[in-house]
Amino acid sequence: NAGVTQTPKFQVLKTGQSMTLQCAQDMNHNSMYWYRQDPGMGLRLIYYSASEGTTDKGEVPNGYNVSRLNKREFSLRLESAAPSQTSVYFCASIRRPGQVNTEAFFGQGTRLTVV
Amino acid sequence: SQQGEEDPQALSIQEGENATMNCSYKTSINNLQWYRQNSGRGLVHLILIRSNEREKHSGRLRVTLDTSKKSSSLLITASRAADTASYFCATDLLGAGSYQLTFGKGTKLSVIP
């Protein structure tokens, strides 16, 4: 199994440009998450989707939108990129949050630079 | 704000020594998890301890949980150079119909051969 796949792995944007980060999981997990990781800040939750058809804001949602396209796919969109959004973005999924299979599986990350 | 905070921020030890990392959190939890991140990679789940457990083992890993102090520790015994990585604790926030997993800032472990 591929697990959690993120595309692209690297991206450079100019300020004001838009882009969508893609995430897909093949483990039939219910919940999916987008985090950003900045030096000294750890991982901060941007948005999450508890189940297909639902999305909720996390700790740092401003400047982002998400779409849970189906059970497999959860995309993150930057409508007008800003230098403050330069970061490494991670997608994660969990089979059954709060129950037995509750560990998160992570993608390899997307390193985004906004100039 | 972030739920978990690891301590120390960085730790450097010799191969063969034990490494201990601590995590403190703020609110009640259902479980606490520890993850590892190698440089430039995604996080990998190591071990989960439930709120009604006090200690758990997995190979060279030992995790303790003290819910009265809202703290956990991760002990890696007989460390190896390959253990060099960042380690994060994660706590859950279980609400109606949703589930958030929040991470601390991590402890960067360097194991010197």
**Residue B2 in this model has a pLDDT that exceeds 60:** no
Q: Is B82 helix (H, G, I), strand (E, B) or coil?
A: helix
Which member of A92, A105, A108 has the closest CB to residue B41? A108
* Mutate which: B35, B39, B43, vs A, most A CBs within 10 A: B43
Distance from CA of A28 to the nearest CA of B (A): 17
Nearest CA-CA partner of B65 in B1, B2, B4: B4
Q: What percentage of chain A reaches a pLDDT higher than 90?
A: 81
**Residues in chain B within 8 Å Cβ distance of A44:** 2, 103
pLDDT at B26: 87
Q: Label residue A3 by pLDDT band (50, 70, 90).
A: very high
Are A69 and A57 in contact by the 8 Å Cβ rule? The answer is no
Q: Which residue has the tokens 């690891």?
A: B6
Closest CA relative to residue A48, chosen from A81, A74, A18, A20 = A74
pLDDT at B89 over 70: yes
Whether A44 contacts A58, CB under 8 Å: yes
pLDDT confidence of residue B51: 87
| Res B94: pLDDT | 59
Residue A23 and residue A92: Cα distance in Å, rounded? Answer: 9
Higher-confidence residue: A16 or A52?
A: A16
